[in-house]
Amino acid sequence: MSATHIEPPLDSPAAVRQDVEGLMMTHPHPLVVGGDVRGCGTCGSYRDWIVISLREEVWLRCPAGHEEHEPRLDTAWYDRHSGPVTHWYDSYDDGLRDLGH
Ligand SMILES: [Zn+2]
């Protein structure tokens, strides 16, 4: 019997059912927005983001848990960068925990 280990993709999209349906994915690499590497406005982190698509807005959550709306990104951008949804969570907290935040 051989064991097959499948690495999960770096960006693993997931969706959340809460009051409003949202989508989230990890973005471990620096995120370039408008030609600049996007840094957290509070702590300066620039990688290991969670990207959240909620209604028509895209929010970024840094590893320290700071959440910021990024008006230069939208759901079309999110769709281009995420793959098919692979997980459903009952709440954002469940999703964040599973994604390591
Ligand atoms: Zn931060």
Gap from CA of 37 to ligand 1 centroid (Å): 14
Gap from CA of 2 to ligand 1 centroid (Å): 43
Q: C-alpha angle with apex 99: 51 to 56, nearest 5 degrees?
A: 25
pLDDT of residue 14: 65
Gap from CA of 49 to ligand 1 centroid (Å): 9
Gap from CA of 76 to ligand 1 centroid (Å): 24
pTM equals: 0.76
Cα–Cα distance, 100 to 35 (Å, whole number): 28
Residue-wise pLDDT tens digits, 22-64:
889 999 999 999 899 999 999 999 999 999 998 889 999 999 9
Gap from CA of 29 to ligand 1 centroid (Å): 15
